[in-house]
Amino acid sequence: MVRTIAILGAGKLGITLSQLALRAGYSVRIAGSGDPSKITLSVNVLAPGAIATTAVDAARQSDVIILALPLSKFRKLPKEELADKLVIDAMNYWWEVDGPIEHILPSGMSSSETVQAFLSSSRIVKALNHMGYHDLHDEARSRKSPGRKAIAVAGDGKDDVRIVSSIIDSLGFDALYIGNLAKGKLLEPGGNVFGTNVSAARLRQLI
């Protein structure tokens, strides 16, 4: 059972996911890129109840880890502490933040496949990246609520996809499985569904 979620990345997406996870009843550990004291005040104000800590400690103390940092930072992730962990990749590539894409991703591979190759002992599932943080914040709704929106999920492990789908449901969205990790490319900027804020039925049509 997932009780504690770590969120690596304390920007707008990380804070929004912290808020949703806290509301869903999870214990939350959140880490920025440096000393936790740099984010403690903003976390206490914007996501009261979340604990600001280091990426190493957050990974050690959590059942599931969400990556919500700039994609170019993935090689600085604590590989040892993330080994054997279920990791949700919510990262996106942005030129303005990450620089030339050829410096980050091999040609033809999805970003999540690249992250999986780096975190070879972790189990990566792609999710929570195609909807903007503002929509994630505003659109979360209880199960079977009219107009509930959907989050696409791509992953290779059946059990891991099931766990991630359950988390997404608890956060206030329907989960839609779209295939293996390579299919995560559809969710990236420029992909078929990036930026979508739609129902599961409509999301399925777009895939």
Q: Are 46 and 19 in contact (CB under 8 A)?
A: yes
For residue 154, the tally of other CB atoms under 10 A from its CB is 26
Q: Domain of 16: which CATH number?
A: 3.40.50.720
- Collapse the DSSP code of 112 into the 3-class scheme (helix H, G, I; strand E, B; otherwise coil) and give the result: helix
Q: What is the pLDDT of residues 145-170, one digit of tens each?
A: 899 999 999 999 999 999 999 999 99
Domain that holds residue 167: 4-206
List per-residue pLDDT tens for the chain, 207 residues long: 889 999 999 999 999 999 999 999 999 999 998 889 899 999 999 999 999 999 999 999 999 999 999 988 999 999 999 999 999 999 998 777 757 777 777 777 889 999 999 999 999 999 999 999 999 999 999 988 899 999 999 999 999 999 999 999 999 999 999 999 999 999 988 888 999 999 999 999 998
Residue whose pair of structure tokens reads 């992953």 in the numeric block? 155
Helix-strand-coil split of the chain, %, nearest 5:
45, 20, 40
Q: Are strands 123-127 and 150-155 parallel, antiparallel or unpaired?
A: antiparallel
pLDDT value for 1: 84
Q: Per the structure, how many domains does the chain have?
A: 1
pTM of the model: 0.94
The reported pLDDT for the residue numbered 98 is 59
